Every structure is written in C-alpha cells, then in structure tokens.
Amino acid sequence: MTTSHPGMDAETFEQFLEQLNRYVRERLIPAEREIIENDEIPEEIVQEMRDMGLFGLTMPEEFGGAGMNVSQYARTIHAISYAMPAFRSIVSINIGMFCSALKNGGTAAQKAEWLPRVAAGEIAAFGLTEPGAGSDSAGMQTTAVKTDDGWVLNGTKRYITNAPYAKVALIMARTSKENLPKNAHVSAFIVLMDTPGVSVGKSDKKMGQAGSTIADIILEDVHVPDDALLGGETGKGFVYAMKSLDNGRISVGSAATGYARRALDSAVRYATERKAFGEPIANFQLIQQMLAQSEIDIYAAECMLEDVTRRADAGENVLRKAAAFKVFASEMCGRVVDACVQVYGGAGYLAEYDAERFFRDARIYRIYEGTTQILQLQIAKHMLREFHANA
C-alpha cells in the first residue's frame, strides 16, 4: 500500500471544473466543425489549453503543475471528453503517459528537466507500439545499443499520437537481445524529436477522431546521452510504461464515459425534435428503451470511474480494476453511440449530423491503451494467479 494522494484543494478544483465545463461548451464544441475540416486543432486553442494548465493537471506543484489526484484528473478528462476526442488526446499523452512514467521512474534530474516543460505544454509522445508489436513486448524490434557516451537507437514506432507535433518522446527499446522475465529486456529513453536520425512519417488517415494526429516515429542510428535512460537503469522501461498505462486506461475509460454522455444528450435532443406519425419520436416506447438503457450504461461506468479513482488515490494497486473500467466504459460507449445512430434513423448515417461522427470516433476506445481482448486476458490472468496463491 502506497501513500494516499490528497490532490488539489477541493473547492478550488470544483471552481476549475465549472470553468472547464463552460469552456468545453462555449469554446471547444463550436470549434469542432473547423477541426474536422482541417484535421487539426487551431494553435490558439492549444495555447488557451496551455494557459488553463490542462497540460500539467497531475504534475506536482513544484514542477509547475496543478497537483491533481487521480479522481480529479479523471473528472477533468471526463469533462474535456464531452467535446470531440482530439482535445483529450493532445493533453492526455503528456499527463497520463509521459508524466506518469517520469514521476514513477525518472531520476531527480530528469523530473526537474522535463516535468516543468511538459506541464507548460511542450507536446510529448509515447513510443511503445511497433509495426509488429503492440500488446506483445516480446516482439519489440526497436533496439538501444550501449556506446561509450550513451546509446544508439534504431527502429520504428507506429500509431504514435502527437508524433507530428511532439517536442519529446518516451521511446521503449530493447536493451537485451534475449527476452527476459518481467520484460526486463525493455528500457525507456527520453528522446528529443529534433535529435539527428529521428524522423516522423506522414500522418495516418483514420476512421474517426479528427484533429488527433498519429504517425510513425522512425529512429535511424539515433544517438542519445546516458542521462536519456529513464531512471538511469536498464530493464525498467516496460514496468514504468505499464504503470503509466493504468493512468492511461483510466483516462480512456473517463473519455469514453464523457463522450457517451455527449452522444446520449444529442440523441435525447433529436428524439424530442424529430416528429413521426404526428408526434415526437421520444414518445415512442422503443425509442425510450434505447435512451433509458444508454442512461443505465453510463451510470454504471460513472460508478466504476468514481470507485477505481478513489482506490487509486488511496494507494491501492488498481491494475485489474483500471483494466475492468476501461473495458466496460469503452464497450459501453460503443453501445451508446450505436443507439444514438439508431435514434437518429436515416439521418444518423449522414455526415451532416453528429451521430455518424460519434459512432466513428468511439470505435478506437475499444482498441488503444489495451484492446478489450488483451485486457480480458490480463484480468483473467490476475484472477487465476490470485486463486492459486490463496489455494
């Protein structure tokens, strides 16, 4: 059991959340159409998000962050995610992945150097997935070879969010040719994106999530100094990455829950406005059933969000519960956006209406930060391990 995290002052946090909810509705949602057309968040909005401190939510105050605990962070992500997913995407890699890994595993010098920069809004990327290795670290091909004055990295990272804009990336690389127990063959490196030998592929065209950009990061004989090795020791990279994935999974679950709420609100509004047979379709019981079931699903996910974050703040190991929350919330969001399209009927299939976009945007939630199937395996593995330990 680790120490608990009191987080930001409760009254200050509630005021911040109220301001954020207003910003989401008055500024971010009206900007969505422009972002969809350009597939990019305007720089002035990114700067506003920096000014609001959204890139440093969980960063300790001494490093320029807001010092939020996990519950506060998840509620903030839930609020941002009422708007299109790109807004969460650009901040959550900084906070949920890069910052978490650095807080968990960085040296004092690495924290002092990078946490203030990332909190201030220097965009970070997280390089784990490869063309032939996503969930399977044993298949990782990117290598880091020791030299007299540092390391030389070679490999390709795939589907890396923020890659085209990132100033820095946390790159997982193999420091041992053999696959070692507990993934000790993988280490993590802090790599500046302007380092010679680092290049970024062209942005991938995606099913949904306009404005959230992913691309390959290619490393060709990239020389980094000794102090680029996270924590100053090899074999710990994957452990730090996985610890930060707990936060990442809570973030995705929170995002899926917030976006499901947006889709349901949209469906309710449409059902009250759209008339058939001379009355609003909201009067029809089978429409009401879809709306009610969506509300039930969202409520269940909100309860899981509250529970898993409270446990995380109390210092519990939430690996299993974070995985369970992410699976349930992402699958739930898929059901809700599907119901939203159904309520819209034929209009739900048209790009002119929001329902079609909600449907496409939500699909990735069941895939990234651990697919539903991989997380189910992980949950089962932990259940069985626990059973055998207690038998």
Measuring CA to CA, how many Å separate 175 from each of 118, 142, 152, 190?
26, 9, 10, 14
Neighbours of 319 (CB within 10 A): 16
Are 227 and 109 in contact, with CB atoms under 8 Å apart?
yes
Q: Find the angle CA(198)-CA(202)-CA(204) to the nearest 5 degrees.
A: 125
Rounded CA-CA distance 384/391 in Å is 10
Nearest alpha carbon to residue 340 among 391, 389, 390, 297: 297
Rounded CA-CA distance 22/245 in Å is 29
Collapse the DSSP code of 50 into the 3-class scheme (helix H, G, I; strand E, B; otherwise coil) and give the result: helix
Single out the catalytic residue among 14, 220, 369, 386. 369
Is 302 marked active-site? no
Nearest alpha carbon to residue 188 among 216, 134, 224, 163: 224
Are 190 and 182 in contact, with CB atoms under 8 Å apart?
no
DSSP string, 55-119: TSSSS-GGGTS----HHHHHHHHHHHTTS-THHHHHHHIIIIIIIHHHHHH--HHHHHHHHHHHH
Locate all alpha helices (DSSP H) within the chain, ordered by sequence. Answer: 10-23, 32-38, 43-51, 70-80, 86-92, 100-105, 108-119, 237-273, 285-313, 319-344, 354-362, 372-390
Are 270 and 343 in contact, with CB atoms under 8 Å apart?
yes
Nearest alpha carbon to residue 170 among 108, 132, 122: 122
Q: What are phi and psi of 233, to 5 degrees?
A: -140, 150
Collapse the DSSP code of 229 into the 3-class scheme (helix H, G, I; strand E, B; otherwise coil) and give the result: strand
Give the catalytic positions in this structure. Answer: 369
